Structure 1
Amino acid sequence: MVPLSTWAQLDGGPPGLLGAGHGMEMLFGLAPVLIAGYLLGPQTPARLWGLTLLWGLGRWQRLFASAPFVLSVWDLLTGVLLAALLLPRLRHARKWRNRVGLGLVPWLCLTPLLVWWLQPPWPRLPTVITLAALLAYMGGRIIAPLAAAAWQQQGKVLRARVQPRLEGLLLITFALAWASAWHYPAITGVVLMALCSLLLVRLWRWRLWSLTRPDLWLLGQGYGWLGLGLGGMGLALISGHAITTPLHGITVGALGSLSCGVMARQAGPRHRGWVPPRCPVTVVMVLLSVAALVRWGAAMAPSWLLPVAASCWSLAYLILFLLLLRSGPGSSNTENSP
């Protein structure tokens, strides 16, 4: 979809991928299914094929939509079904931070219902803030134990792990940003700047740069792009500019890096100490960072940079796909894999 949306912007290709359609495809086509697939765990073949069929029909309808702001009924059904499957898992969460964090996933899945109910333009800013809050919560819960284990292997102790007080403050601040995003963009911009600072402080305290682990660098890169994307959006809102350009720091940089980092860890045996191969993970990390940088700067640079960003993004996911094909549950890869 990313190369097709680039074609649409340059040559007027599929009209359903222009403008709002491009953003809706990323936020409703990629993010909810990707995140829910990680949290749902093993499912019956009937559920898997049913979800895949609904999701595929939504993508097909997007390609042939007559206008950017067209919400597929298949996306509505997919979101409702995902939310129904995820809600029972919230019963196991006891702390309020866990309930709020995990509750963001069904909310993101049900966002198409909100878009369908409201009049255009669709609430892009509140939706992006919801996605960013979910990435901040899940990213922290994934990075913290991995970083602690990596430091332990070096004979050191990482004291700043989940950082629960900072995590709670992040969730509360995200709630303030979401509430103000509907009518007070300038206030939202200030809150987003605060979120940027909090995320970068949390990332700094993990000290991932001191570890020789490209898989952790990739995850840390995603967390860093999340902070930079929110900070860029905050500056844009304060100055009265559109958030379209810095938004790609979240969708391309943060979502791309965090999702690839998580999926790369699923490419081998799920036992303690296994590390994804260094070379392909490093290449994926560089490609995604280049894609985010180029896409961010494409608004002030020649249009040919858009295909460059799309090519880097697609090539990164292709390398990850080949890594998933090559490795499996019975793989013998170790930490010293090339």
Structure 2
Amino acid sequence: MTDATPTTTIRVGGDAPYDVLVGRGLVRELPGLLPPQAKKVLIVHAPTLGRKANDVRETLIEAGYEAIIAEVPDAEDAKRVEVAAFCWQVLGQADFTRTDVVLGLGGGAITDLAGFVAATWLRGVALVQIPTSVLGMVDASVGGKTGINTAEGKNLVGAFHPPIAVLADLDHLDTLSKNEILAGFAEIVKAGFIAEPEILDIIEADVDRATDPATAEFRRVVELSIALKARVVGEDLTEQGLREILNYGHTLGHAVEHAERYQWRHGAAVSVGMVFAAELARLTGRLSDEAVDRHRRILESLTLPVSYPLGRWNTLLATMQRDKKARAGMLRFIVLDEIGKPVVLQGPDQSLLFAAYQEIGS
């Protein structure tokens, strides 16, 4: 696949600014983005990306770096302390120093893991992310949140550790199945509902073109999503305020992922979570019936789920109460006053939560 348009550079500000490059054929840019004192790079990748990892390795070797590959499990199976320990072992045996680099090549789970490994090795080494999924490009690789899962919940162990660069190379998406692409669109839809309604308009106008990596519409929604996240995390890296809006749909969504033992895709769980948050906003008089219906229409057009079994509520509630977004024992939800206007709903009554859940129950 070729792309006549030039590479787009999206700047993430803050105390440790970096660029997200969006385009095609971006691996050639990698050596020029590494710190001048770096000598070694660890490439962390999933099993299905062995060929791409070798291509990255060859590019680095040609540029004079020592490049080492660490293959880890795919998806959420990568986000375990045992896998992080394996990566630490590789780094130790290869004598990686504070001036060397960890590179994450894969979907959101791989970039989360690679980021956590980089944050914790020698109290922090340089990190480069090369996301290979829609979710990874628009969400996980940007913003410096890193983490692994525990038996008690998702991402409960982690660190804020921004990368020095992100290469969102659209070439990596050309071989993905349609289902893989659609699973990543929940985070794009989220960006549309909380701040970028143009995204919603593009999807509603032609869902097939919006979800085709070869089209200008696809690139537009990806770039809008990345730019939104860049603006938010540039102002609030450690989630003390503004960054919370990026959790739209995630409080219940993470509980669904935990209930499903991470066998559900992240996007599917967040899709259910967004409809729940919309119903919660409607019940508190914030959101119109039409706005809630729009959530369902758009998500269903992407074949994403909008309901969850009624009998699972108690399990989900217990998990949400352990969620890292809860504060002083009170649950916090991002809801909408209207489309494009997210607010925090803190400590809602459990009867209200259950009423909202009944609206999405199946």
**In proportion to residue count, which structure has more strand?**
2
TM-score by length of 2: 0.24
Q: Give me the TM-score of the superposition, normalised by structure 1.
A: 0.25
Bigger helix share: 1
